[in-house]
Amino acid sequence: MDPVRRRRRRRLGTWSGAVTAALALAVTAVGPASAADVNNARNAGFEAGLTDWSCSANSGTTVASPAHAGSAALKATPAGQDNARCSQRVAVKPGSTYTLSAWVQGGYSYLGVTGTGTTDVSTWSPGSDAWRQLTTSFTTGSSTTSVTVYTHGWYGQSAYYADDVSVYGPDGGGGGGPEPTVPATPAGLSVSGTTSSSVSLAWNAVSGATGYSIYRDGTKITAVTGTSATVTGLAASTSYSFQVAATNAAGESAKSAAVTARTAEQGGGGGDLPEHAVTGYWQNFDNGATVQRLSDVSSQYDIIAVAFADATTTPGAVTFNLDSAGLGGYTVDQFKADIRAKQAAGKKVIISVGGEKGTVSVNDSASATNFANSVHSLMQTYGFDGVDIDLENGLNATYMTQALRALSTKAGPSMILTMAPQTIDMQSTSNAYFRTALNVKDILTVVNMQYYNSGSMLGCDGKVYSQGTVDFLTALACIQLEGGLDPSQVGLGLPASTRAAGGGYVSPAVVNNALDCLTKATNCGTFKPSRTYPSLRGAMTWSTNWDAAAGNAWSNTVGAHVHALP
């Protein structure tokens, strides 16, 4: 824990007692409201998004659930040295008393006011799983005509939710904001992608809308808060008609013009991927590599694995939190739009679970169910095409198999399923990772084993090979190719540069030599495979960011070579 964080936590402890005592006094002093009193806060229920509110470090957004009332609430997430402060300037009358209140839920939640001209006040809650009301009061100075009302969370704590903020007292003349009117009909509805069991839709935002209803063949099937949705559970090779309507507290708009989409033919284990494909991991964090948005990722990559989903407190369940601050203000809406654009260009974008420090554990039936449900939820929320299993701290073959089969049932046969085991995990078919891959072979897209950070390993001929050579790549790939995986399910995973991994980097030319050796029996080292594997899937790299930092040398060289394989 860093020293700045420690100092702030100590201050919280001493402040909390003082605030609690002050609150007890403040609450008893609140008297009956005048008949002329009004709520002077604008967009107090966040039904118009963040209109009239300003949140520090892009920490705030609006959500449909949980909401205390209406169809929206504020969700604000502290990160690093930011406490997720959301504020509004409110017009007030001088020399007047106001009651300040808000409903809160989630992590540490604070409500306060500054600029009163007398004594600024605040109150707080240490966190709650249910909505609770925070209330205090303040009096304005003789010349005070506006105050700043704010909510915030606390450093290192979870997100908080706020709704129905009230600054109740004499009308300050700023207006509480107009009552919402039924929003306009959405325009620009289009089909952004299809699989054999799903259709992805996108449309233009509507001013004043807090959500959107999706209709399939005239029947409402779901509601979302963003401007995109993926409808799943559809039949293959079938045409459907879709419409969308905008909603807010005042009601629902007329339905948009209909668009027709036809699902793809039945497929599995990769859908419409090219026969030879390149996979790249995209970093949802800044570790010194080039910071990218998905739109910046080289077009050489056919599968983009978003790294990483995070474990939750629910066993087996995962979530995803876009590091907007670390990625230069990259918003969730931009991220989703970039996913759709990549998919429109024929690419697949999947969510990777695990990584070097990943702690996701699927060790029983309940956690397997939680894993499948949570990953499927992320696929629906963001439009991911599937999942990558990169659990570097071990897995249970029985229950991970159960989880992946349950997920496939939910997502449909076009779900992309990739794996990125370490070299030790694929030395024998008795290893849990290898068993898992074989257990789900019928729905598996590709295993991109990591040929790095491993030291020397055995090849399929029983000889020891050193990492960083063409023999290491071909002799270890041979274990998978002869151990039960289809060649189309085997890829070579290498770091994009010397900075991307602690050891095992080889030049792109060596990667290409290994691909040639395995597919055409040319450019081999001392190890010669007993046969060729022309349908070998391709190659993978960690990461698109490190590749970009090196001028995309890896993807330009290996990507072009993979796509030119016969």
Please, what is the angle between helix 470-482 and helix 508-520, to 10°? Answer: 40
Run of H or E including 7: helix 3-28
Q: How far apart are CA 36 and CA 171, in angstroms?
A: 8
CA neighbor of 425 nearest in space, from 438, 415, 441, 442 = 438
Radius of gyration of the chain (CA): 27
The tokens for 26 are 């403040």
For 550, other C-beta atoms within 10 Å of its C-beta total 17
Residue whose structure tokens are 């995986």: 485
The tokens for 37 are 């009193």
Q: How far apart are CA 123 and CA 150, in angstroms?
A: 11
The single residue of 252, 275, 392, 482 carrying the catalytic annotation is: 392
- Interstrand relation of 277-283 and 318-319 (parallel, antiparallel or unpaired): unpaired
99 by DSSP, 3-state: which? strand
Residue 43, phi then psi, degrees to nearest 5: 50, 50
Is 252 annotated as catalytic?
no
The tokens for 150 are 């704010």
- DSSP structural state of residue 534: T
- Tell me the residue type at 508: P
Contact 450, 456 (CB under 8 A): no
Q: How far apart are CA 131 and CA 74, in angstroms?
A: 13
In angstroms, what CA-CA distances link 440 with 133, 300, 339, 435? 50, 27, 26, 9
The residue ranges of DSSP E strands in 170-271, in sequence order, are 190-194, 199-202, 211-216, 219-224, 228-231, 239-248, 251-252, 259-262
Contact 280, 543 (CB under 8 A): yes
Q: How far apart are CA 448 and CA 538, in angstroms?
A: 9
Q: How far apart are CA 204 and CA 24, in angstroms?
A: 48
Alpha helix positions (H), 391-507: 397-411, 432-439, 470-482
- Is residue 48 exposed (0-12), middle (13-18) or buried (19+ Cβ within 10 Å)? buried
Contact 246, 285 (CB under 8 A): no
Q: How far apart are CA 168 and CA 154, in angstroms?
A: 26
537 by DSSP, 3-state: which? coil
CA neighbor of 490 nearest in space, from 261, 163, 215, 269 = 269
Q: Which residues are catalytic?
A: 392
